[in-house]
Amino acid sequence: MGRDGGVTVLLAGDTSTNAMIIAHDVVPHRFARHRCAVQARPEQGNDVAQTHGLDLGWTKARTVAPQRRMGVGEAHAHHGELLQGVFYRDDGRRSRALVTLAFPSRGSRAVFRAGAGESGTVTVDGEGFAKVRRAAELTLRALPGAPAGGHVEITSDVPRGLGLGSSTSDVTATIRAVADCLGAAPTAEQVARLATLAEGACDSIMIEDRVVLFAHREGTVLETLGPRLPPMIVVGCDTDPGGAVDTLEHPPARYNDWEIGAFLVLRTVLRRAITAWDVPLLGKVATVSAQINQRFLPKPDLDFLLAVCREEGGCGVQVAHSGTVAGVIFDPSRRGAVDAVARCMRRIEDHGLPTTNVIGADLLPEGLDASVS
Amino acid sequence: MGTRAFYEDATEAYQLPRVVRLAPNLFAVCFTLMKMIPARYILRRALREGLLAPGTIIVETTSGTFGLALAMQAAQLDRRLILVSDPAIDDRLHRRLTDLGAVVERLAQQAAVGGYQAARLNRLAEIRRELPATFCPEQYSNPDNPRSYAVVAELLVEALGQVDCVVGPIGSGGSTGGTTTFLRSVSPDCRAIGVDTHFSVLFGHPDGQRGLRGLGNSLMPPSMDHRVFDSVHWCTAAEAYRATRHLHRRHALFMGPTSGASYLVGRWWAQKQPGALTVVLMPDEGYRYLDTVYDDEWLAAQGYGGTVLPDEPLTVSDPTRPGSRWTAYDWGKRSYTEVMAAARDDLVELP
């Protein structure tokens, strides 16, 4: 999968916005096509889900259309997290959880063709699609009346290994495609639980209508923090050009008691920042989360990004806690935000880091084009 | 977190404070029993880690509210509790502790060095040697004490957003130190003002007779992190009592004298810094002090007459010399060793 050094723009907090706002995307998207065939054993019904201790309840999934030979699903990428740590559930138990920063201008599209893999052989066009196959199989087994198997074809423009959620968008698109084929309309939570089952852990890109604190290993929502993120601009970059992180190979962070206490406070502050549309406050939370994560997956250039953020009047720095991307957060309502964002991008590129995206550039009154060119 | 319809148990119900506005930029954080926070955190952790089996006896040295918090926990957990206290423990508290099933051992003799507190620690070690299975929360050296206050920081942030200054009475340094440390995770500039009393060793005074109880210490708590504090204030008993009564008369807040001492300092700071949001930690309520702080005759007999609050502290440059009125010292987030070394150097420079 080619790495994209181009500068793109997307809007945080509004997942309906797409690549139309990428006004200065200098490198055309390199879409990669992958195909894999899936053989499932539908006679097992919900067994797979049940052996994993999950009752997906998909027998209750709403059926909205008759079964077809083909289904299509889409899912967008993310740009790491605003917060990741260990948090308390209402029952007092603790769960690892995160708040995803959506990246709606990149994503995956899956096409599922029923019955195509009935020979029992699985062919994969390209490497690393075991999770997609697993997602398709699990979805087929979870749905009543599913066909024996099928083909999945993935089209994606999400760079791999940077923490942009490439595999999660593949997996989510696949689950949606299979469900679409069967005329089922699973809830976002049902998709989330299936995605974590297929992947082990994933961000909450499938929950698009609100901002959630998401237990990324369980696929459940700890709390809805608000309807959407405040309008903000995020200048994204890859902090380790050429390097890549295997999300699942990376050992889970072992937080100490002070950090777990701090997460209590950070969660509350983030809830407040989202409710009040307070981008500076949100930026502080993201920065602390990024700094805590330095003990586990250090970003060598975090200090540089924090300095740029401080000097250009940014609000904070967010990171992919199990990837290499990071972003400097700006408040678009602040005077001079256009120039600050442009200077920030230039400084990051001068430092030798490829910028990945500028999330939310259309929020700037004059747009970003003039100052970038 | 969802809205809770009821509390799981009394100790949960007692743990969180009410946040009450006293002035546009000044808030009181009123606890029924603040020490419930570390007591609950430490015992629940011990339970989780298997350190508190059914036969294990909880032992601790205290003559204050930490003992009450432990006794409430012990009653609920069905564990035995032995508390070693000095004679200063008041009768009402003693009755309440024993009603909760705690065994309270009152020491009659002070130790040669460290007063009753050292004697209590010696006796505690003795008890632990005699019993097969004990658990001691060790509030003065247990890092879980400051760590337990994350819930207070969480509540303050939820209720107030940005907090610029925390004022609190210092006994172990846990509440003010812990709360401020957690608040600083998102607000690094949040100030911590410690409130102590003269002849307490916590911030450099020599140990001596102290009228004001519930804050200050004769021994240095091993877990105390002095680098949290921006400044320290020393109050006299008379000033603290007057402020306690003022808080009650003016704001109808019925709190104990350590709350009064903190209120005195917090009120002054909030007036001086109108743009900053100040919170004052108020650790317990007034019931225990009805026959003392809230009794005019008792106050007069002790020589604590008068109702006028001093307007401002006397700023001192030597933290090692006790005074006879409200004093303040710019601690500057330094370690104890640093401050004491600087104080010694200053002395040498005197003619």
Distance (Å, whole) CA B216 – CA B218: 7
pLDDT at B135: 97
Distance (Å, whole) CA B280 – CA B27: 6
In terms of Cα–Cα distance, which of B193, B222, B221, B218 is closest to B208? B218
In terms of Cα–Cα distance, which of B275, B247, B201 is closest to B25? B275
At residue A120 the predicted structure's pLDDT band, cuts being 50, 70 and 90, is very low
Would you state the structure tokens that stand for residue A264, as one six-digit string? 């209590």
Mean pLDDT of chain A: 79
pLDDT at A161: 78
Q: In chain B, which residue's Cα lies nearest the Cα of A221?
A: B1
Cα of B153 to nearest chain A Cα, Å: 6
Residue A56 has pLDDT above 80, yes or no: no
Please say whether the beta carbons of B79 and B42 come within 8 A.
no
Distance (Å, whole) CA B252 – CA A199: 58
Please say whether the beta carbons of A63 and A143 come within 8 A.
no
Decide: helix, strand or coil at residue A298.
coil
Mutation target to probe the A interface, by most A beta carbons within 10 A, among B185, B187, B189, B225 is B185
Give the range among A199-208, B136-145, B342-351 with minimum mean pLDDT. Answer: B342-351
Interchain proximity B150–A281, CB inside 8 Å? no
Chain-centroid distance, C-alpha B250: 23
Interchain proximity A265–B186, CB inside 8 Å? yes
Q: Does B189 touch chain A (CB under 8 A)?
A: no
ipTM attached to this prediction: 0.87
- Looking at beta carbons, which residues of chain B come within 8 Å of A270? none
Query: Residues A138-186: pLDDT tens digits?
Result: 898 888 777 768 888 888 999 887 889 999 999 999 999 999 998 888 9
Distance (Å, whole) CA A19 – CA B168: 53
Mean pLDDT of chain B: 92
Distance (Å, whole) CA B259 – CA B287: 13
State the helix-helix crossing angle for A188-199 and A166-181, rounded to 10 degrees. 120
3-state helix, strand, coil in chain B (%, to 5): 40, 15, 40
At residue A236 the predicted structure's pLDDT band, cuts being 50, 70 and 90, is very high
* Interface A-B: count of C-beta contacts within 8 A: 50
Residue A12 has pLDDT above 50, yes or no: no
- Looking at beta carbons, which residues of chain A come within 8 Å of B181? 258
Cα of B147 to nearest chain A Cα, Å: 6
Q: Does B5 touch chain A (CB under 8 A)?
A: no
Interchain proximity A281–B154, CB inside 8 Å? no
Interchain proximity A264–B2, CB inside 8 Å? no
Cα of A280 to nearest chain B Cα, Å: 11
> Mean of the pLDDT values across residues B277-288?
96
Please say whether the beta carbons of A136 and A178 come within 8 A.
yes
Distance (Å, whole) CA B192 – CA B28: 15
Q: Please list, in sequence order, all residues whose beta carbon lies within 8 angstroms of the beta carbon of residue B278, skipping any fewer than 6 positions away.
A: B25, B26, B27, B163, B164, B165, B166, B167, B266, B269, B270
Phi, psi of A311 (to 5 degrees): -75, -25
DSSP A129-196: -HHHHHHHHHHHHHSTT--SEEEEEEEE-PPSSSSS-HHHHHHHHHHHHHHHHTTEE--HHHHHHHHH
- Looking at beta carbons, which residues of chain B come within 8 Å of A288? 185-186
Instruction: Measure CB to CB from residue A261 to each of B1, B147, B161 and give the nearest one.
Output: B147
Interchain proximity B186–A269, CB inside 8 Å? yes
List the 114-173 stretch of B: residues with Cβ below 8 A of A: 143-144, 147, 149-151, 153-154, 157-158, 161
Q: Does B186 touch chain A (CB under 8 A)?
A: yes
Chain-centroid distance, C-alpha B313: 21
Alpha-carbon separation of residue B329 from A171, B66, B318 (angstroms): 61, 28, 8
> Mean of the pLDDT values across residues B317-339?
96
pLDDT at A342: 92
3-state helix, strand, coil in chain A (%, to 5): 30, 25, 40
Q: Hey, which residues does B114 pair with through a beta bridge?
A: none
